Amino acid sequence: MAKIGLWSDYHNFPSLPLMKLSAYHKQKGDTVEMLNHLVHYDLVYCSKTFSFTPDAETNGIIQADEIIRGGTGYCISIVDGKEVFNKSKDVELPKEIEHIYPDYSLYPNYNYAVGFLTRGCPRGCGFCIVGCKEGLCSRQVADLSEFWREQKEIKLLDPNLLACQEHEKILQQLINSEARIDFTQGLDIRLTTPDNIALLNKIKTQRLHFAWDNPKQDLTDYFKRFSESSKIKSCDKKIVYVLTNYNSSIDEDLYRIYTLRDLGYNPYVMIYQKERADRPHRDLQRWVNCRLIFRSVNKFEDYDRKKG
């Protein structure tokens, strides 16, 4: 019986790989716990989602016979100022662990199910690692029953569910679950159709997320059509991520922000490589993302950062 330690840099969300590893080792009769730097382990798994977060050793030396590291955070390097995903460093879970029912008891503070029904995305956006990591085709990789057992809420991590050929069948499964669904990575507004909007209307969800990342692509008509057909009317429940500081001018950022607001969506500014962003981008983000300010100051040029 081995003693297994688990560590993740993801603190506000349960780590899916760790929950799967935990289930696998518990099935074998091993003891599993979150890493304690004072304890010696036979094996420690470190899972890193972000490249900019500190590693597990920051809080002390890991005492273990073996350490296995995996996750996107270990595979990203900066080349010419851009994040590049190094596929050769990526460690995939073996099939029998990838498809195991996650050990949710590892995170007793969370009571939802979490997982991927699809992986991959055909878009290949330059700032996103999904295409390189998971492939340029969205395909179904699991059934809901693989990670859901009647929990009241399901958080989906799919990068572009609507790009999957079977997405209508999947949406129907989600309707049938009667669980509240959170599409945490958002939905691709360009792939919404009258048919899938009708299905989305039947899904229990608190809010929907979309993105308008490319300023050279005018998505106004897509957002307009969705607004007209969706049961969700409140702008607080229709959030749209607006990527800035990546191939766009402030004027192009403002066009997307104003258009979305006029169409009844809540824009939410994301800054590419925030640590390198200049003051105007940071101001823009603060103005938009602080809802109180955004509602009371109509135009960005009227926003006085010092007064907030």
The site for ligand SF4 (CB under 6 A) is made up of 121, 123-125, 128, 130-131, 159-160, 188
**DSSP summary character for residue 229:** H
Question: How many CB atoms are located within 10 Å of the residue 22 CB?
Answer: 25
d(CA 163, CA 165): 6
Closer Cβ to ligand SF4, 60 or 135, answer by number: 135
Buried b (16+ CB within 10 A) or exposed e, 47-60: bbbebeeeebeeee
- In degrees rounded to 5, what are phi and psi of residue 213? -90, -35
Q: DSSP string of 114-155?
A: EE-SEE--S---TT--HHHHH-SS-EE---GGGT-SS-SEEE
Least separation in angstroms between CB 136 and ligand SF4: 9
Least separation in angstroms between CB 186 and ligand SF4: 7
Closer Cβ to ligand SF4, 128 or 235, answer by number: 128
Closer Cβ to ligand SF4, 160 or 259, answer by number: 160
Least separation in angstroms between CB 125 and ligand SF4: 3
Least separation in angstroms between CB 238 and ligand SF4: 17
Closer Cβ to ligand SF4, 76 or 121, answer by number: 121
| Residue found under tokens 């029904």 | 117
Closer Cβ to ligand SF4, 20 or 123, answer by number: 123
Nearest one of 291, 283, 285 to 307, comparing CA atoms? 283
- 204, with CB counted inside 10 A (0-12, 13-18, 19+), is middle
